[in-house]
Amino acid sequence: MTVAAEAVLPRARRWLPRLPGAWGFYIGGSIILALVIVAAAAPLIAPYNPNAVDLTHTLSGFSSQHLLGTDAAGRDILSRLIYGTRLSLLGPLAVVATSVIVGVPAGLVAGYRGGWVDTVVSRIGDIVFGFPPLLLAIVIVATFGAGFWTATVAIAITYIPLQARVARGVVLVECRNAYVDACKMQGFSARRTALGHVLPNVAGTITAQSTLNFGYALLDLAGLAFLGLGVQPPTPDWGEMLSDGRQNILFSVNEVVIASIAIAVAVIAFNLLGDSLVRRLSRTR
Amino acid sequence: MADSAMTQDTRKLTTSTVSTAPPMLEVSDLTTTLLVDGQPQLVVRGMNLSVGAGEIVGLVGESGSGKSITARSIIGLLPRGAEVTGSIRVAGVDRLTMSRRELQRLRAEKIAMIFQDPRAHIDPLWRIEDYIGEGLRVHLGMSNDAARARSRDLLTSLGIVDADRVLRAYPGQLSGGMLQRVMIAGALSCQPDLIIADEATTALDVTVQTDILAILDELRRTQQMSLLFITHDLALASVICDRIVVMYAGRAMLIQDSAGMFRAPAHPYAAALVAARPNPDRRVERLRTVAGRSVSALEAPGGCPFRPRCPYAEPPCAETDVPLQSVGPGVASACIRINDISDQLVESASRDD
Amino acid sequence: MASTVQARRPGGPVRQVAGTIAARLPLSSHPTVRYAVSRLLASIGLLFVASIVIFLLEHLAPGSPESVLLGGRPATPQLLAAIRREYHLDAPLWTQYWDWLTGVLHGNFGQSITYKASVSSVIGSRIGATLELGVYAALITTVIGVTLGAVAALRSGRFTDTAISTLVVVLSSISGYVSAIVLLVIFGVKLGWFPILGTGTSGTDRLYHLTLPAIALAISLIALIARTTRASVGRTLDVEFVDTARSRGLSERRIFVKHVFRNSLIPILTVSGLAVGYLISGAVLVEYTFGLNGLGSLLVQAVEAKDYAVVQGVALLFTAVFIAVNLIIDLLYGLVDPRVRIGEVAA
């Protein structure tokens, strides 16, 4: 790293959370790992069937039978929370995977080749970004009907151009580096230069961006479910629990508070991990 | 005890012998420490200099020698965490004991500064007339019209023909040379007694540089303004300065009148700088350089800091810090061997190879 | 995060196209006019394309357009025929779009199935609450966000800065609806300080009802604005002209107000445009949470009831506001920064 960069960085770094980079990486990573384990082992961990209705114990508080209480239908909140981890993580995973699989190649080609490909990719992005965030997703859900997969596809559509634009930007910066010209002069094909040399260099940025996107997508999907436009009851999901709990908020706040905490913790975990990756990247540059 | 005696001594030495009035600026035993990555770093170490009324003094040194920090210590523009000790007297008043208000008044009325890069040093969002007139409006309470009229006069006196167009322009629309004139006009606007020019012409074309120097020289003659002219270019300093202070590793090595310095430099470092000056009259095989690398105050060894690069160094040079000592009328040198080697220095400065 | 912010702003390369078009128009050679016209053209173009997307989506819905438009009414042949006639379903798609667009431009967004009234009257009856909520939240966001960011920058590296940065990191991790629920639970349900539902009657009661939702909406945006302000003011404080101003004996207050703040405005403005987008999406969630009768909750209800005319109307309105605000921001750049006006720096 050059002396000038050294001199500039500390000031910018001060604004980031006062955790050393590795801290955020391990805390965020451990929370995410724990969530994945919970999702995978849900049937083993959950004390009850998440959909088992018990009308004699509705909206009960914390107790030894129901550690986190029950909802309006007498279902065990802890079990619903545990099972809810599955769709709450699967949705964002699908969004991030789609946006990377579709967006990154599009951005890579647009940035590397320029010309009409760049024009088309950029224009599509412009259209998507012309809508307020989430509004386009709501309109798409309005068209195709509420549900987990519609909501996931709708959110994915808004993240694809985002990922493409980020990839394109990184490629444009990378292509200014001398090594790209060096590859061209050695007679490597455009495809080989792009895939073999530029892609590995942009992979770090894409990973960091995807981690951050995972958190945002989780929020967006839970938001749609909260509005009744995503996961439909009685399927357990954190956003759906928010929606369910909101209806009974005057009688018990347990369900909304627990679901809010789960969402917030997951989002913070992805933010911590993403930020630490971003910082690690900026340090190695 | 010894310290204060030395300060007394150097104050007498560093003051111009020509002037009898109290000097416009008097810096003695100035030490400045900056915080670098949370660690205090010594940048200026026992610096002495003075500027008399209507005098132009050059402050010359390689980059890292601490000349800019000296200037910034004088006007109080140091980054947070900086510590300044010693004394800085402006027209007899100690700058370092001033309150924030008093310092603002001092800057508003007595001192002005011209910086190296005018494009970065002028707010890009305001018109030139707003920039030049800001001091007039704020400090002198002038109306917009009066401030504009005065700004126009200033620009005209600095040799700008279409002053009205320049006044209406934004900084981004003007050339670097023009902007430097604008900055000078801004510095002159409230008629300061002392101007500090920190590498004010370094970034400019040679022809523009000459124009700016002529303007500064003219101002000194017509308005009795004092000028501290900071540059790394010894030849440039010799063009307009009455006296030159040569700085090395955070302290003054030599104070001497410019003509005398080129004829008979009273310090081996100054002699090396004079000799390293390219001579346009002769083609040479290889340009002379000062051997070795310039060091900062922090890296400087004990004793004379120039010792490792000095061809005349002897064991005693390493033993004690060498204070400035009078070696002739108006000449002060920080070389303990100066009486032994002065003839050799004269010879090396006049060598024509 | 920074890349997200940059990437998400509407406009982008569309502006370049509009810029070239504007450059060829025989309007004026004055850069300010050219700049304004090119921005205006870009916004209109973007809004036009957005309207096509909103219109076409309805026609992509599963099932025939007639059944979509029936919205659950019994499918008598007479009714179907009436619908086909009313919506010109036999005409080509672009004719239908053109009819819809000309209607929209005349303030006619069609008929709402659920409300049995014109969409414009339904929107008209709901727009007040959303507008008040939005303006209220925007005020809170701007005042608190800019103040926090500026104070943090001026106290950079000290305790105040650390405290504000930590607060901002926490706030930015809380999305609008999560903060809405938390505020609702604490101040509405547990403490009972604020009403839980509804918009209130008028005047102070309305302000009282909207306070909690507006704070909820503002929270995550405060973080965004504060972060940007902190970074931007911090950068400007490092620029050399601040030294010049100090060397001229100007007061710190004057230096901040006249030089530092104005020079820091462009990034803050840029992010404000994005914040308006989040404000709109956030309003949908917050109105739903607090049971406010605004456009956001109208949109959610219309989606559930498959009331497409309402969905289209509200979506188009929101998008138009988003694009218009960003157009205004683009024009403000020129006002703030003469370099944009004289075309020295591309915005």
pLDDT of residue C15: 54
Closest CA to A96 of A158, A54, A33: A158
pLDDT of residue A190: 65
What backbone phi and psi angles, to 5 degrees, belong to A181?
Answer: -60, -40
Does the distance separating the beta carbons of A131 and C322 come in below 8 Å?
yes
Torsion of CA C289, C293, C298, C304, to 10 degrees: 50
**What is the amino acid identity at position A52?**
A
pLDDT of residue B183: 94
pLDDT digits (tens, 9 = 90+) for C301-320: 998 888 888 999 999 999 99
pLDDT band at residue B88, thresholds of 50, 70 and 90? very high
Sheet holding B39-51, edge to edge: B39-51, B25-36, B83-90, B93-94
- Say which DSSP state B185 is in: H
**What value does the mean pLDDT of chain A take?**
83
pLDDT of residue B75: 93
Does the distance separating the beta carbons of C13 and A162 come in below 8 Å?
no
> Which of A92-96, A128-132, A195-199, C30-34 has the least mean pLDDT?
A195-199
Tell me the chain C residues in contact with residue B125 when contact means C-beta distances shorter than 8 Å. Answer: 259, 262-263, 336-338
pLDDT band at residue B320, thresholds of 50, 70 and 90? confident
Look at residue B27 and give its three-state secondary structure.
strand
pLDDT band at residue C63, thresholds of 50, 70 and 90? low
Report the neighbours of B using a cutoff of 3 or more CB pairs below 8 angstroms.
C
pLDDT digits (tens, 9 = 90+) for B101-160: 999 999 999 999 999 889 999 999 999 999 999 999 999 999 999 999 999 999 998 888
Tell me the chain C residues in contact with residue B195 when contact means C-beta distances shorter than 8 Å. Answer: none
What backbone phi and psi angles, to 5 degrees, belong to B247?
Answer: -110, 140
Q: Which two tokens stand for residue C3?
A: 């890349």
pLDDT of residue B10: 46
pLDDT band at residue B288, thresholds of 50, 70 and 90? low
**What value does the mean pLDDT of chain C take?**
83
Q: If you average pLDDT over residues A212-228, what whole number do you get?
A: 93
Q: Which two tokens stand for residue C240?
A: 């050399």
Whole-number Cα distances in Å, B304 to A187, B11, B317, B337, C262: 59, 20, 6, 11, 49
- Asked if the model's pLDDT at residue A261 lies above 50, the reply is yes
Rounded to two decimals, what is the model's pTM? 0.81
Taking the C-alpha atoms of residue B288 and residue C97, their distance in angstroms, rounded to an integer, is 81
Taking the C-alpha atoms of residue C230 and residue C157, their distance in angstroms, rounded to an integer, is 12
pLDDT digits (tens, 9 = 90+) for C322-346: 999 999 998 888 888 888 776 654 3
- Asked if the model's pLDDT at residue C1 lies above 60, the reply is no
pLDDT of residue C182: 81
Taking the C-alpha atoms of residue B146 and residue B161, their distance in angstroms, rounded to an integer, is 20
Contact C114, C305 (CB under 8 A): yes
Q: If you average pLDDT over residues B281-287, what whole number do you get?
A: 60
In chain A, the residue whose alpha carbon lies closest to the alpha carbon of C45 is: A127
pLDDT of residue A9: 33
Contact A86, A42 (CB under 8 A): yes
Q: Which two tokens stand for residue B334?
A: 């920080």
E runs forming strands in chain C: 111-112, 117-118
Taking the C-alpha atoms of residue A205 and residue C167, their distance in angstroms, rounded to an integer, is 27
Does the distance separating the beta carbons of C247 and B77 come in below 8 Å?
yes
In chain C, the residue whose alpha carbon lies closest to the alpha carbon of B198 is: C244
pLDDT of residue C172: 76
In percent, the amount of chain C with pLDDT more than 90 equals 41
Closest CA to C123 of C306, C287, C297: C297
Q: If you average pLDDT over residues B35-55, what whole number do you get?
A: 89
Q: By the CB < 8 Å criterion, does C239 face chain B?
A: yes
Length of chain C in residues, anyone? 347
Query: C 155-184 residues with CB below 8 A of B?
Result: 157
pLDDT of residue B11: 45
Closest CA to A220 of A95, A85, A35, A77: A95
pLDDT digits (tens, 9 = 90+) for B147-166: 999 999 999 988 889 999 99
- Asked if the model's pLDDT at residue C277 lies above 50, the reply is yes
- Asked if the model's pLDDT at residue C276 lies above 80, the reply is yes
Of the candidates C157, C251, C259, the beta carbon closest to that of B123 is on C259
Q: If you average pLDDT over residues C26-32, what whole number do you get?
A: 63
Torsion of CA C178, C180, C182, C185, to 10 degrees: -140
Beta-carbon pairs below 8 A across chains A and C:
174
Does the distance separating the beta carbons of C239 and B120 come in below 8 Å?
yes
pLDDT of residue A262: 93
pLDDT of residue A3: 32
pLDDT of residue B81: 86
pLDDT digits (tens, 9 = 90+) for A145-179: 889 999 999 999 999 999 999 888 888 877 776 66
Does the distance separating the beta carbons of C342 and B135 come in below 8 Å?
no
Give the ipTM.
Answer: 0.85
Does the distance separating the beta carbons of C181 and A246 come in below 8 Å?
yes
End-to-end Cα, chain C, rounded Å:
20
A6 or A256: which leads in pLDDT: A256
Tell me the chain C residues in contact with residue B109 when contact means C-beta distances shorter than 8 Å. Answer: 249
**What is the amino acid identity at position A263?**
I
Closest CA to B179 of B150, B143, B208: B208
Return the axis-axis angle of helices A238-247 and A199-226, rounded to nearest 10°: 20
Taking the C-alpha atoms of residue B321 and residue B323, their distance in angstroms, rounded to an integer, is 6
pLDDT band at residue C8, thresholds of 50, 70 and 90? low
Cα A242 to chain centroid distance, Å, stands at: 18
**What value does the mean pLDDT of chain B take?**
85
